[in-house]
Every structure is written in C-alpha cells, then in structure tokens.
Amino acid sequence: MGYLHAGHLSLIRRARKLTGPRGKIAVSIYVNPAQFGLNEDFSKYPRDLARDLKLCRTEEVDVVFIPTDRAMYPRNGTGAFSTYVVEERLSRAMEGASRPTHFRGAATVVAKLFNIIQPSFAVFGAKDYQQAAIMKRMVRDLNFPVEIVVAPIRRESDGLAMSSRNKYLEGGLRTQARVLWGSIRKVQAILRSASKPVSAAALKSQVKAFVKRQPDARMDYVEFFHPHTLEPVDRVIHGTHMALAVFLGKTRLIDNSRL
C-alpha cells in the first residue's frame, strides 16, 4: 500500500533473485479502501508516491502499477461494484475477528491484481502472516497460476517490525512499541525453559499483563496457533506460531513469529 520502507524493498530484492536478470518485476502501489473498516485510518494512511517511485527506480523495478479507485472498483450504468472474494476459514480469527471486512478487501484486490498483471509469482511479507496464508489458500482454491512466496519480517534495530504505520509513533509511543517484539521474546524464553507444553491460556495472561505495563499500550489480541492451518492451540510447543495486535495510542500494530 505504498509508503515504502526497507521491508518492502526486501520483497523487491527477493523477487529479483527469483526472476534472474531477464525477469520483469512489477510493484503495485494502491491504498485499497476495501481493506479499511469504519473509523480506520484510510484517509490518514501515510502516502508519498514521489518517494516510492524514486525507491522503485533505485531498485530497478520494471513496472509500477498505480491504479485509481475508479479502475479497481468501477461504477457505471450497470451498477456499483458488487463482486468480492471471500476466504471463509483462515480469515475468521485474529485480524479477521478484529477487522471483519479486511480480508475480503485484501483478497479481492489481490485477485484483481493477479488478473491484471498475470505474474508467475508474488512476494508477500511475513509480517502479515495471516494474509499470506489466505493468499496461498485463494491461489490454491481458485486455480490461479501464481506461486506465493513469503519473505521474512524485516525489523528495526530494537526488534520492532517495519511498518508504514510506524510513522505514527511519536514521542514515547515509539519506545513503548517495543512491547510487541518483547512479548514474543518473553514467550520464547518461557518455552526454552519449559520441559513440557505450556498452557496457551496462561501465556496469554502473561502477555496481556506484560503489555499492560506500557501506559499507552492496549492489547487487541494475542493468539497461539498451528502455522499451517491457523487453528488455535491449547498447548504451546516449539514450532507453534504466535501473533498479536496492540494499540499504541491510536496506532494499531501487529507482529508474529514461529516459536
């Protein structure tokens, strides 16, 4: 969705390695309104197209696709846009529960991008772990001839996952935002010292208490789940996946990791 940072650029570089010197790299930049719910930050979402294009030129991107809302969601004499792609299993929990229409918007726009660009593969970042899993499922279920590649999370020096929304973190919020990665590290330490599976409910309570120590932090959710099915687990072991969402002031951040 634009406002590119080093995490995005790592996706471009991963794509370049996969295509080789003769391949073509296309980057889509589009702040998709269908991914935002009521009272979310669509109008304020950070945008800097001139800077994005400069970074794409530096990375020797071949095509930058910058569609308009009218092009992606046409309205004409036959009526308003009314066709959506809905994944009904992986999208129910976590981000899907907190933002009910988010994945419908994401799956729809990505399906349209695939039809327009017709790529051989598409590179997604692991920070949006649930989204990447949904795209893999959509491609499988709807027979898209596209390979989904998931690249690792890029982090700041203090562990905060890179995100366009980090721009919102002013003053002490930036320091408090370390609580997301700190929560993951805390659970990793508990698992390392445990001789048997650990109760997910107990870990959730500890993480919530840990987040609550930050004066401007508010937990949205923390979940422990199977990395492939995204089904929640009652007992956490090595290899279980963890994801959480936390509000820092009005800014909502997400993070995840395999434990």
What residues are annotated to the active site?
8
Within 8 A by CB and 6+ apart from 129, the residues are 241, 243, 256
Residue 48 neighbours by CB distance under 10 Å: 14
Strands 121-125 and 147-151: parallel
Q: What single-letter amino acid sits at 34?
A: A
Note whether 28 and 65 are within 8 A (CB).
yes
Closest to 251 in 3D by CA, of 131, 161, 170: 170
CA-CA distance, 92 to 148, in Å (whole number)? 21
CA-CA distance, 141 to 134, in Å (whole number)? 10
Which helix H or strand E contains 11, and what residues bound it? helix 6-19
Note whether 134 and 90 are within 8 A (CB).
yes
At 63 the three-state DSSP class reads strand
Note whether 9 and 55 are within 8 A (CB).
yes
